[in-house]
A and B are shown apart, each in its own frame.
Chain A
Amino acid sequence: MLAAVITAAVLVAVTALLALVRVERGPSMLDRAVALDTLTVTLVGAIAIEAIWSRRTETIPILVALSVVGFVGSVTMSRFAGKEPSEDGHVSTREEIAAQARAADVPRGEQRNGVRAIDAEDDSGRQGGARR
Chain B
Amino acid sequence: MTHVEPGLWTTIADVLAAVCLLGGAFLTLGAGVGLVRFPSLLARMHTVTKPQVLGLVLLLTALALRVRDGSAVAMLVLVVAFQLVTSPVAAHMVGRSGFRTGKIDPDDERAHELTEDD
**Which residues of A approach B to under 8 Å, CB–CB?**
1, 4-5, 7-9, 11-12, 14-19, 21-22, 28, 30-31, 33-35, 37-38, 41-42, 44-45, 48-49, 51-52, 54-57, 60-61, 63-64, 67-68, 71, 74-75, 78-79, 81-82, 84, 86
Contact = CB atoms under 8 A, between A and B. Distances in A.
B12 interface: no
Interface in B36-69: 36, 41, 44-45, 47-48, 52-53, 55-56, 59-60, 62-63, 66-67, 69
A51 B26 CA distance: 18
Contacts of B76: 60, 63
A45 B59 contact: yes
B67 A55 contact: yes
A45 B80 CA distance: 12
B31 A45 contact: no
Nearest to B29: A11
20 contacts: A8-B25, A12-B29, A15-B29, A19-B35, A22-B44, A34-B35, A38-B31, A38-B35, A41-B56, A42-B28, A45-B59, A48-B56, A56-B1, A57-B1, A57-B69, A61-B75, A64-B82, A78-B94, A78-B97, A78-B98
B49 to A, nearest CB: 9
B63 A15 contact: no
B67 A14 contact: no
